Structure 1
Amino acid sequence: MINVTAVFDIGKTNKKFFLFDKDYKEVYKEYSKFDEIVDEDGHPTENLSALQNWLKGVFENILNAKQFNVTAINFSTYGASFVHLDENGEVLTPLYNYTKDIDQSVIDSFVEKYGPKEEFLKTTGCFDLSLLNSGLQLYWIKYTKPEIFKKIKYSLHLPQYLSYIFTGIPLSEYTSIGCHTALWDYTIKDYHSWVYKEELHKILPPIVSTETSINMNYNGKRIKIGVGIHDSSSALLPYVRSVKKKFVLVSTGTWSITLNPFAEHAIVEDTDAEDSINYMRINGKPVKATRVFLGNEYKIQVAKLSGQFGVDEDYHRHVKFDYDLYSEIMHDFKHMFKWESIKDENMPDKTEITYDKFEHAYHQLMTELVLLQVKSIRDVVRGAEIKRLYVDGGFSDNDLFVKLLSHYFRNMKLRTTDSSLGSALGAAISISDKKLNSKFLKKNYSLKKHVPFITK
């Protein structure tokens, strides 16, 4: 029997289950999807009971399998989600979706009590006030559903709820608390004063390190059960553990999130960017981050260009970087794209493409998008001595994106990585005592080095 670590990696759409061997190689995986249900207001939300049944069923099957010996289990999930339990451990409410709108009067009331808003957002590392801040959900329930609030014994972040299903022990941990929840004051390294004033600390379980695990007898087997981890912090962990020098990670996708785990100061002290945000490392240290809606804007603009130039919708995937086209664009550079989902002071009032070939327009698009990414990276580095830049996610195999980024950061060593396992692997690593060496990314993440192109 192979000794394995089991990980449930729960996304909004895909629910995944992995088994990793002692070298963190994937030896088994299982995927599932559930139809969403609706809450009392008709807003779509996670089917929590279906999720719980799937977790238990999958795990029972693996425990009974003859080829695997499960020694540990952990959980990685999306954030900004609370599960509220009564004194009997029963779930009190739906898992409210962070996309759900709440009455503006609730937000106004909160700001009136605990504003000014700008100062509050900075100290808590948030960029708005909505249900994307899970702390605000507690405030919303307290004042709009007081009969339910009175029954809450514990409010658990989703990763910790999944752990609770297996252990029955309610806990909190840093990565979930620190992920744009509006609960944590990064300037004092404690819950924000409003949490104590509203007495919410009484329903928030004790805080433990993300590396904490509970040794339990589960159906006659001794198994180490982790307390769960927020997915963005989990995806960062393999880099933190295996790279010995300071670095910045650009995690690209619909959102392009730049993470600096070596920032010495919280956001409040050294940036005013509204798209700046804090995450938290597993030991409670802040991760300074910036975000830009790059993948979303790329998708919008590429669809428009494909239609305008009459090319196949996948044509853009095969365009390679052309230095002569780039040089021509930069000779008398001007912004041509009006973004639909990004605010940028440099963009024109409307999009005007002056080229007659898709390749030329595409180079213009990528140059402008990369300039946005460059600003996002510079905002998060802010003069720090960081010489390494890692890029993972969707843009890591975009030839123009990588070459242009390498060009603009010629003083940094640029590396791309490819791991579809992402946060699941981080969850396995977080409860392991095994050290990662400098070759880990090369062996497990298809690490590639990139050098800047030569300018003529």
Structure 2
Amino acid sequence: MHVAVFDIGKTNKKLFLFDRQYNIVWETSTQFVETVDEDGDPCEDVDHLTNWVQQALQDVLAKPQFDVKALNFSTYGASLVCVDAQGQAVGPLYNYLKAYPDELSRQFYLAYGPEERVSVETASPALGNLNSGLALYRIRHQKPDLFARMRYALHLPQYVSSLFTGQFHADLTSIGCHTALWNFDRQQYHGWVTAEQLDQKLAPLFPGNAVMDTVVYGKPMKVGVGLHDSSAALIPYLASFSEPFVLISTGTWCISLNPFNTQPLTAEELQYDCLCFLNYQGQPVKASRLFAGYEHEQQVQRLAAHFGVPVDTYKQVPYDPSLIDELPTRPVQPIPDPLTTKQPAVLVQSAFIRRDLTDFDTYEQAYHQLIHDIVAQQLISTELVLHRSPVDRIFVDGGFSKNPIYMALLASAFPQLNVSAASVAQATALGAALAIHDNWNPLPLPDNLVQLRPVDAPMHKPA
């Protein structure tokens, strides 16, 4: 018996098969060339994606060594697929990074604002098309022909699910993740959604841990509704640990997730790029974001050019506490908040971007300074979700979990907490499989889903 999971990212599209012990027994992946929308902006090729998803599942079902009993999906969020009454995609799958029209934003907040109140009520920083509710508002007001042809606007996980079930649903992990659609206090769509009659274009809600009994290419199967990838990646940790924890998921973005913080989101937290999203059980998870992975990528290129070494030299740099103690003390000039964001500058860029590399004698010293400055940001970002919550453990997964300098300095920054590097094989796909566990798998959950490596805190603490 196996469960199949599509894990669809912006870059990599993957299909996994898990056995009943949640070992990966087969996988495939691909990448697509983007297309453009009617404005010439890059976007996902929804037709190519549709064809690949359907063909990939047909191929795996044809393999006699596998007995696929269940199917679920996790995809990147903030993206809507408009479908007609037959479930055919109409219009592009707009990119969430597409610029949002200033005049339309003003129109929206004049009608339903102020911006701060809407953001607090929907637990969504004002992010333009990254608020998929505002993306739908844009279609209604600027693409009336597309809006008229559309029966439903489905978030991407639910669109992929509908390709196999023929059913149209919404799910809370997508509706409740920085969409500006959901009123977190009232646990229903926000008033502006019904005022604009957009609720009529949003499909009925379906539980993220339930399934639809479906025949897929002649085979009876339990099919889930699909999950937003941020929610899916948290599920293996919630399944493995009952004591309160914070998960720092590191990649291009470093996202601190606290499922145990029940404090209402404040306007100040929103200003610092903090938000809440809903897990598949409808419970809020407080999260804060930091663009630290991207900054690390940019700065190691700068270091490589300055010191004349390969870009990946940092991978061979061990943690050296004496280098931390010897870092230059010369202050850097503060940077004003960029005009393009209301986020405080301390979380937009670390101090390292403004440091003079001639102050450093060696690459190793400069790299320790870079990680020191990133962890100083991480302390602020993670404290936002830790505040007044009963947490005594921090788990770090992703790229920085393998960085000995980052992990040592993070443990030093949080000496009162147990800090561990965590490893989960394909956490997002695994989370989607675990969400529907009770519907297909008669075995209990295994106790080795998450591998932990505790980190001892050094004696010093980053400034």
Question: 1:228 corresponds to which letter in structure 2?
Answer: G
Change (3 A) 1:188 1:268: farther
CA distance in structure 2 between the aligned counterparts of 1:185 and 1:450, rounded to whole angstroms = 39
Point out the more displaced range, 120-129 or 184-193: 120-129
Q: CA deviation at 1:270?
A: 7.4
Point out the more displaced range, 170-179 or 413-422: 413-422
8 Å CA contact retained: 1:132, 1:181 = yes
Q: CA deviation at 1:90?
A: 2.4
8 Å CA contact retained: 2:269, 2:275 = no
Match of 2:17 among 3, 10, 19: 19
CA distance in structure 2 between the aligned counterparts of 1:59 and 1:368, rounded to whole angstroms = 45
Change (3 A) 1:115 1:435: farther
Question: 1:183 corresponds to which letter in structure 2?
Answer: L
Match of 1:344 among 334, 343, 346: 346
Question: 1:424 corresponds to which letter in structure 2?
Answer: A
Q: Which residue number in structure 2 is paired with residue 191 of structure 1?
A: 189
Change (3 A) 1:323 1:336: farther
CA distance in structure 1 between the aligned counterparts of 2:370 and 2:460, rounded to whole angstroms = 20
Match of 1:28 among 26, 29, 46: 26
Q: Which residue number in structure 2 is paired with residue 411 of structure 1?
A: 416
8 Å CA contact retained: 2:261, 2:388 = no
CA distance in structure 2 between the aligned counterparts of 1:54 and 1:437, rounded to whole angstroms = 32
CA distance in structure 2 between the aligned counterparts of 1:349 and 1:58, rounded to whole angstroms = 44
Q: Which residue number in structure 1 is paired with residue 407 of structure 2?
A: 402
CA distance in structure 1 between the aligned counterparts of 2:450 and 2:354, rounded to whole angstroms = 43
Q: Which residue number in structure 2 is paired with residue 135 of structure 1?
A: 133
SS in 1 for 2:345: coil
Work out whether 1:374 is the aligned partner of 2:382.
no
CA distance in structure 2 between the aligned counterparts of 1:209 and 1:179, rounded to whole angstroms = 15
Match of 1:307 among 305, 308, 321: 305
CA distance in structure 1 between the aligned counterparts of 2:40 and 2:200, rounded to whole angstroms = 30
Q: Which residue number in structure 2 is paired with residue 361 of structure 1?
A: 366
CA distance in structure 2 between the aligned counterparts of 1:202 and 1:67, rounded to whole angstroms = 44
8 Å CA contact retained: 2:260, 2:390 = no
The aligned length equals 449
8 Å CA contact retained: 1:127, 1:274 = no
Change (3 A) 1:270 1:45: closer
Match of 1:93 among 91, 101, 118: 91
Point out the more displaced range, 20-29 or 205-214: 205-214
Q: CA deviation at 1:440?
A: 2.6
Q: Which residue number in structure 2 is paired with residue 449 of structure 1?
A: 454
Work out whether 1:39 is the aligned partner of 2:43.
no
Point out the more displaced range, 352-361 or 11-20: 352-361
**Counterparts of 1:430-441 in structure 2 under 5 Å?**
430-433=435-438, 435-436=444-445, 438-441=447-450
Q: CA deviation at 1:41?
A: 1.1
Change (3 A) 1:313 1:337: farther
Match of 1:261 among 249, 259, 262: 259
Q: CA deviation at 1:333?
A: 7.3
**Counterparts of 1:287-326 in structure 2 under 5 Å?**
287-326=285-324
**TM-score between the two structures when normalised by the length of structure 1:** 0.93
8 Å CA contact retained: 2:131, 2:180 = yes
Q: Which residue number in structure 1 is paired with residue 172 of structure 2?
A: 174
Question: 2:450 corresponds to which letter in structure 1?
Answer: L
Change (3 A) 1:315 1:219: closer
8 Å CA contact retained: 2:246, 2:394 = yes
Question: 2:223 corresponds to which letter in structure 1?
Answer: I
Q: CA deviation at 1:43?
A: 1.3
Match of 2:389 among 367, 376, 384: 384
Point out the more displaced range, 274-283 or 192-201: 274-283
8 Å CA contact retained: 1:338, 1:351 = no
Point out the more displaced range, 232-241 or 146-155: 146-155
How well do the aligned residues superpose, as a CA RMSD in angstroms? 2.3
Q: CA deviation at 1:348?
A: 8.8
Deviation string for 1:91-132 (max 9, x for gaps)? 221111111113211111001011111221222222223111
Question: 2:405 corresponds to which letter in structure 1?
Answer: L
SS in 2 for 1:89: coil
Q: CA deviation at 1:273?
A: 3.5
CA distance in structure 2 between the aligned counterparts of 1:339 and 1:391, rounded to whole angstroms = 30
SS in 2 for 1:131: helix
Q: CA deviation at 1:44?
A: 1.4
Change (3 A) 1:193 1:252: same
Deviation string for 1:316-371 (max 9, x for gaps)? 111111111112338x5745897999822884994224221111121122111101
Deviation string for 1:298-328 (max 9, x for gaps)? 1222221222222222111111111111123
**Counterparts of 1:105-124 in structure 2 under 5 Å?**
105-124=103-122
Deviation string for 1:39-67 (max 9, x for gaps)? 11111111111111111111112222110
CA distance in structure 1 between the aligned counterparts of 2:222 and 2:393, rounded to whole angstroms = 35
8 Å CA contact retained: 2:423, 2:450 = no
Consecutive unaligned residues in structure 1, runs of 5 or more? none
Q: CA deviation at 1:88?
A: 2.9
**TM-score between the two structures when normalised by the length of structure 2:** 0.92
Q: CA deviation at 1:279?
A: 1.9
CA distance in structure 1 between the aligned counterparts of 2:460 and 2:294, rounded to whole angstroms = 31
8 Å CA contact retained: 1:19, 1:29 = yes
Deviation string for 1:56-83 (max 9, x for gaps)? 1111122221100000001110011111
Change (3 A) 1:347 1:415: closer
Question: 1:376 corresponds to which letter in structure 2?
Answer: S
Point out the more displaced range, 345-354 or 89-98: 345-354
CA distance in structure 2 between the aligned counterparts of 1:387 and 1:348, rounded to whole angstroms = 30
8 Å CA contact retained: 1:337, 1:348 = no
SS in 2 for 1:344: helix
Identity %: 40
CA distance in structure 1 between the aligned counterparts of 2:333 and 2:21, rounded to whole angstroms = 49
CA distance in structure 1 between the aligned counterparts of 2:432 and 2:385, rounded to whole angstroms = 25
Q: Which residue number in structure 2 is paired with residue 206 of structure 1?
A: 204
CA distance in structure 2 between the aligned counterparts of 1:270 and 1:38, rounded to whole angstroms = 37
